Amino acid sequence: MRSLLEEALPQWLWVEKSPTLQIFVRGEGPECMITLSQESDPEGDEDPGPWELSVHLRSDVRDDKSADMIGGIRDRVSAVVGGFWIPTRIEPCSFVKVNNSFPSAYDFESEYGVDEMNERLTALRLWRWKTASENQSALAIRGIAALRMAGDEFASFTVVILSLLPIHHFRLIAGSAVDYVHTRIQDTILPALGARNLRPTPLETLVEMLASESYRDQRCAVLDAIRIYGGEARMAVLGVIKALHDYERNVRAFAARALGSIGPAAKEAIPALGELATSEDSYIANYAKKALELIQR
């Protein structure tokens, strides 16, 4: 790899190292330094994975032309290693929020279909991806990742991308658990998909999803997405009240939490929440009591 890069960028000083399980090449030029690395399999039994490219500009050469310079270097290195590049970090990133909170569901547009999305996401290797049918009208890509939360603690998160060309629908199955997860989605996964016109999924769509059997497995995510809309989600109240009687306790808890977030506009839910507040299941009862406090204040 070093000799190929020396031919492509002969004015640069190149150094190649091969630490255990990794190939590492560094190049230094007059205006910036780059590193190129790839996981290595000494036995040759597995796909070594994608190359990772980092470009570090000198502080005294950063200006309006920096992006063009980085793009030119990327293209020349790409000609050596082949394939396509996917951004793994984008700065600055204007994050999409509702009421200053990350939504659990987004809509976006992209020129890519499911197969192309799956190829790009697999190359990114941040999550484990597989293509599967979600319902009769759409194909889905499901991704799972275990991300470090604090110290040695890890949590597992799942995302689902429904392809409904030209509009795609993206859901995080874990609600608004951690802002870090949402930022990773918005500054790595969605750019890799060429996402355009990224916006929170409209409330009307969420209400339809909550009532549809096609999205039964994603009810908690849908309820959490409704919760983010707060008092603006009055039109969703009747559907969320129905979810209070769901056979799954997590769905009942998420429904109570959503109604509490809607606040006084959800006063129709007071009788149903009153019943749950006396439940022997303290997990459910506590969510119901908190919701009643927020609705009746």
Tell me the pLDDT tens digit for each residue of 43-52: 555 555 667 7
CATH number of the domain encompassing residue 179 = 3.30.310
Determine the average pLDDT of the residues in 211-228: 82
Same structural domain, 151 and 237: no
- In whole numbers, what is the pLDDT of the chain averaged over residues? 78
What's the pLDDT band for 76 if we cut at 50, 70, 90? confident
pLDDT (mean) for 205-231? 85
Q: Are residues 230 and 173 in the same domain?
A: no
172, part of any domain: yes
Which of 160, 175, 201 corresponds to the end of one domain?
201
- Considering the domain architecture, whether residues 167 and 229 belong to the same structural domain is answered as no
Q: Which domain holds residue 238?
A: 204-296
- Kindly state whether residue 214 falls inside one of the protein's structural domains: yes
The pLDDT confidence band at residue 269, using thresholds 50, 70 and 90, is: very high
Token representation of residue 124: 């990114």
Q: Quick one: 220 and 173 in the same domain?
A: no
Domain boundary among 46, 81, 116: 81
pLDDT at 292: 96
86, pLDDT greater than 80 = no
Axis crossing angle, helix 282-296 with helix 249-262, rounded to the nearest 10: 10
More confident residue, 179 or 288: 288
CA-to-CA distance for 149 and 104, rounded, in angstroms?
18
CATH number at residue 270: 1.25.10.10
Q: Are residues 8 and 29 in the same domain?
A: yes
Same domain, 160 and 196: yes
Burial 165-203 (b: 16+ CB within 10 A, else e): eeebbbbbbbbbbbeebbebbbbbbbbbbebeebebbeb
Residue 225 belongs to a domain: yes
Name the domain boundary from 182, 201, 220.
201
Do 179 and 224 belong together in one domain? no
Residues 45 and 126 in one domain: no
> Is 3's pLDDT higher than 80?
yes
Those residues whose C-beta lies under 8 Å from the C-beta of residue 57, and which sit 6 or more positions away, are 31, 32, 66, 69, 70
Give yes or no for residue 11 having a pLDDT over 60: yes
Q: Looking at the domain assignment, is residue 98 inside a domain?
A: no
Considering the domain architecture, whether residues 74 and 112 belong to the same structural domain is answered as no
Count: domains in the chain: 3
Q: Is the pLDDT of residue 193 over 90?
A: no
Question: Could you tell me if residue 209 is inside a domain?
Answer: yes
Q: What is the pLDDT of residues 127-154, one digit of tens each?
A: 777 776 554 445 677 777 766 555 555 5
Regarding whether 289 and 276 lie in a shared domain, the answer is yes
Could you tell me the pLDDT band of residue 285, with boundaries at 50, 70 and 90? very high
Residue with the bigger pLDDT between 263 and 50: it is 263
For the entire predicted model, the pTM comes to 0.59
- In the predicted structure, residue 167 carries a pLDDT above the cut 90: no
Q: Is residue 100 part of a domain?
A: no
pLDDT at 176: 44
